[in-house]
Amino acid sequence: MATVSREEVRTLLDLPLLPLLDKARAVHLAHHGDNEVQLCTLLSVKTGGCPEDCSYCPQSSHHDTAVGAERMLDVDQVIASARRAKDLGSTRFCMGAAWREVKDGPAFDRVVDMVRGVKDLGLEACATLGMLTGPQAERLKEAGLDAYNHNLDTSREAYRSIIKTRTYDDRLRTLQNVRSAGISVCCGGIIGMGEALEDRAELLRTLASLEPQPESVPINALVAVEGTPLADMPPVDPFDLVRMIAVARILMPKSRVRLSAGRSSLTREAQAMCLFAGANSIFYGEKLLTTANPEEAADLELLRTLGLTTLAPVADASGSPRHSEHACANKGAGCGHKHDHEHAHAHGEAVAE
Ligand code: SF4
């Protein structure tokens, strides 16, 4: 996409909602006419005790929250969770560690083994581990990592009031290391942290200006957790979330826009609007790191009601497409494909982003 200015993004954000949805829907159908939604499961493999001071995060050791520092999970525990996620229909498994940065040594070695194990299950592997050097990104790539999540959170200007222990440029540097290693980029932000509309516009402008644009763009609504500095922020207006998703869809037509944190406080109808506006990925599983997420059955029911299907799983190591019986939201409700390999082909098994 040609360079976009903050003013142009602001103009889109300011459109009345229905004309904005018309635009976003047209872009969405042109690039994602398959109506498929990717299901991603996120597991915290190392919870709490993080030295960073992100104002929104209950895992920061700077805040007095109910989330304490826990030991890192074993590889076997993580693989068991990944297998469960796959059986429930997830096709991407993301592993999160509450670290400022990756440090070479036994903990990183363990993450590398986790990535290998997740790949052996035929899932896409994603990780979010904090800052990453070039050689560390290359090591993760060699282990089979498909994507790395590293959010910009908000605008460069607002970033300073949300996080003081690192800079926006630190963030951008890690994104560059991820790109250079050939790993796909998952990068988005959070609304509801007290930012101005200008900040939302600038966040979207920055994301859309990354070259290439991120393959995945998670859009989060703040989950205000007791004990964090943002605990008393008012809830996000669901229409604001719909607006962010719609503009993200217009600016980043090929990206998978992910309806992420904050979904458990949305009604089914609000979630439906987000999906209509261009979201085509959700976090799936009852927990999102340390906060609540809708139950899997409710998600599949919603997708079925809307006539959406779930993205077929990737091929396994032998090259055979895999498909879980649970994965099709249209199963038994008008999906004409058989729930077997034919289905995987029909729904596009090549899901590398
Ligand atoms: S770096 Fe991640 S885990 Fe650590 S405080 Fe920030 S958001 Fe939380």
What global pTM score does this model have?
A: 0.86
pLDDT digits (tens, 9 = 90+) for 16-27: 999 999 999 999
Q: Which of 92, 243, 258, 322 does the annotation list as catalytic? A: 258
Average predicted confidence (pLDDT) for the chain: 87
Determine, yes or no, domain membership for 140.
yes
Look at 82-96, 174-188, 305-319 and tell me which has the smallest mean pLDDT: 305-319
Average of per-residue pLDDT across 148-176 = 96
**Does any ligand 1 atom lie closer than 6 A to the CB of residue 47?**
no
Determine, yes or no, domain membership for 171.
yes
Three-class DSSP labels, the chain: CCCCCHHHHHHHHCCCHHHHHHHHHHHHHHHCCCCEEEEEEEEEEECCCECCCCCCCCCECCCCCCCCCCCCCCHHHHHHHHHHHHHCCCCEEEEEECCCECCCCHHHHHHHHHHHHHHHCCCEEEEECCECCHHHHHHHHHHCCCEEECCCECCHHHHHHHCCCCCHHHHHHHHHHHHHCCCEEECCEEECCCCCHHHHHHHHHHHHHCCCCCCEEEEEECCCCCCCCCCCCCCCCHHHHHHHHHHHHHHCCCCEEEECCCHHHCCHHHHHHHHHHCEEEEECCCEECCEECCCHHHHHHHHHHHCCEECCCCECCCCCECCCCCCCCCCCCCCCCCCCHHHHHHCCCCCCC
Determine, yes or no, domain membership for 108.
yes
Q: Which residue's alpha carbon is nearest to atom 3 within ligand 1?
A: 98
Residue 274 is a catalytic residue: no
Residue 258 is a catalytic residue: yes
pLDDT at 127: 97
Average of per-residue pLDDT across 133-153 = 97
% residues pLDDT > 90 (the chain): 76
Determine, yes or no, domain membership for 67.
yes
pLDDT at 3: 85
Distance 53 CA to ligand 1 centre (A): 7
Residue 94 is a catalytic residue: yes
pLDDT of 348 > 60? The answer is no
Average of per-residue pLDDT across 199-210 = 98
Pocket test of ligand 1: the residue of 43, 59, 129 to mutate, having most ligand atoms within 8 Å of its CB, is: 59
Look at 38-42, 109-113, 171-175 and tell me which has the smallest mean pLDDT: 38-42
Determine, yes or no, domain membership for 143.
yes
Q: Which domain holds residue 96?
A: 6-345
pLDDT at 351: 26
Determine, yes or no, domain membership for 90.
yes
pLDDT digits (tens, 9 = 90+) for 296-315: 888 889 999 999 998 875 54
Give me the CATH number covering residue 99: 3.20.20.70
- Would you state the structure tokens that stand for residue 66, as one six-digit string? 């109910």
**Does any ligand 1 atom lie closer than 6 A to the CB of residue 58?**
no
**Per-residue confidence band for 290, with pLDDT thresholds at 50, 70 and 90:** low
pLDDT of 210 > 60? The answer is yes
Domain count, the chain: 1
Determine, yes or no, domain membership for 352.
no
**Does any ligand 1 atom lie closer than 6 A to the CB of residue 153?**
no
Average of per-residue pLDDT across 161-189 = 97
**Per-residue confidence band for 263, with pLDDT thresholds at 50, 70 and 90:** confident
Determine, yes or no, domain membership for 244.
yes
Ligand 1 atom having least distance to the Cα of 58: 8
**Per-residue confidence band for 287, with pLDDT thresholds at 50, 70 and 90:** low
**Does any ligand 1 atom lie closer than 6 A to the CB of residue 52?**
yes
pLDDT at 317: 38
pLDDT at 289: 65
**Per-residue confidence band for 269, with pLDDT thresholds at 50, 70 and 90:** very high
